[in-house]
Amino acid sequence: MADPLTAGGLARLHETAEQHVGDHRVPGLVALAASGDQVHVEALGTLSIGGSLVARDSLFRIASTTKPITAAATLALAGGGLIDIDEPVDRLLPELARPAVLARMDGPLDDTVPAHRAITARDLLTFTFGFGVAVEMFASAEPWPVVAASDELRLATIGPPAPDVQPDPDTWIAGLGSLPLLAQPGERWLYNTGASVLGVLLARAAGQPLADVLRTRLFEPLGMRDTAFWTPQTDRLATSYAPTSAGLVVHDQPAGAWSRPPAFGDGAAGLVSTADDLLAFARMLLRGGSPVLSAGAVRAMTSDQLTAEQKARGGLGPDFFTGQSWGFCQAVLDSGAFGWDGGLGTSWLVDPGRDLTVIVLTQRMFESPDPPIVHRDIQAAAYAALAS
């Protein structure tokens, strides 16, 4: 039987990836395309500018690509009876019981109304519990009071991941619980914070730190040996760069924030991983969840979970919900593909209809909510490499 990814197509994928690698573009990357039993990997460039070569097992900060992993762990605990995703979170997260809601998202913190109902784990999974990133925040000349208060509490939930800033989980959730919500539970989609809260919920439900929940429920059963909230193997970790008008500047060194255990394991954006570990996670979903999830859990996680009203009042930009919606902690495309990107430079896309997984790991931060062209070009090349 012929390989589903053609030799000519993979040669063009190599050329596509190679043209994006350079000290002023993407210093290094790992690109993986898999279909059926066939796996093709490109490891190109260097872990840092002028540094050692990228290898297939190099580690990258996957930022928001963490979110689907947290969703899967949530569904694993639900399948084990430790939580009910439609139960109010009050039992495990009393800090979020009876929340107040801002009368206006950009208004003063003391101008609030009561929440119409309790928050559920489903609200957290779908990012509709009432707190998170709203695109309107970025159009404001001054930080909204709730954003400023979040920063003062070191929640690091509105902006890039910051494991060296966030306090321990109990302090973190107490800080969040001291703030009013931006919207009524279930009213609109707000990015990011729901997955961070899920991490605290899972730890309390399982009676162990989130890192141990992920390790025992997902990573060990799936053979994801290199995925964690930190790594002692800093020689394998890429330097993180931020693009500026003057070129790439260091955002985090290998010996930086991800080189030691964080006080708060952030279920929204905290993990480091490898291309092969993320492929193992993708293949679990493609085979219906075995051995960690039920088929029903996978269907829920990878299907549209938002109402038209929630989509109309949310998104990261006016076209965010064009061609896609939101499942549990990840985007779900109209084509049936699903996945999510990490703003520190990663993308993870799974297309069951074409039996294709495309993973791109770089150390260059995104400059907008849309993935940079290197990710889009490699994904397009992987699709083009499929035999017709």
Q: Would you state the pLDDT for residue 2?
A: 82
pLDDT at 128: 98
pLDDT band at 1 (very low <50, low <70, confident <90, very high): low
Q: Check pLDDT > 70 for residue 340.
A: yes
Q: CA distances (Å), 103 to each of 100, 184, 225, 300, in order?
A: 9, 10, 46, 32
Q: What are phi and psi of 240, to 5 degrees?
A: -95, 130
Please determine, for residue 254, whether its predicted confidence score (pLDDT) is greater than 70: yes
For residues 84-97, give the mean pLDDT.
98
Structural domains in the chain, CATH included, are 7-71+208-385 (3.40.710.10), 83-205 (1.20.58)
CA atoms within 13 A of residue 95's CA, in its CB half-sphere: 16
The predicted pLDDT at position 256 comes to 98
How many CA atoms are closer than 13 Å to the CA of 338, on its beta-carbon side?
26
DSSP H helices, the chain, are 7-18, 66-79, 121-126, 145-152, 169-177, 193-206, 210-214, 220-222, 275-286, 295-301, 308-312, 373-385
Band (297; pLDDT cuts 50, 70, 90): very high
Q: In this predicted structure, what is the pLDDT of residue 388?
A: 80
DSSP 375: H
Place of tokens 């035999």: 387
- Average pLDDT for the chain: 97
Predicted confidence at residue 251, as pLDDT, reads 98
- Read off the tokens for 104: 């206006």
35-64 residue pLDDT tens: 999 999 999 999 999 999 999 999 999 999
- Decide: pTM greater than 0.85: yes
Residues whose CB falls within 8 Å of the CB of residue 9, separated by 6 or more in sequence, listed in order: 381, 384, 385, 386, 387
Please report, rounded to a whole number, the percentage of residues in the chain having pLDDT higher than 90.
Answer: 96
Query: Would you call 63 exposed, middle or buried from its count of C-beta atoms within 10 A (0-12, 13-18, 19+)?
Result: buried
Q: Round to whole Å and give the CA distance between 132 and 267.
A: 14
Q: Is 32 exposed, middle or buried (0-12, 13-18, 19+ CB in 10 A)?
A: buried
Which pLDDT belongs to residue 139?
A: 87
Q: Looking at residues 238-249, what average pLDDT do you find?
A: 96
SS3 of residue 124 by DSSP: helix
Give the pLDDT band of residue 194 (cuts 50, 70, 90): very high
111-130 tens-digit pLDDT: 999 999 999 999 999 999 99
How many other CB atoms are there within 10 angstroms of residue 96's CB atom?
25
Alpha-carbon 189 to chain mean position: 15
Whether 330 shows a pLDDT value over 90: the answer reads yes
What is the three-class DSSP state of 155?
coil
* Mean per-residue pLDDT, 281-298: 98
Phi then psi for 206, rounded to 5 degrees?
A: -90, -15
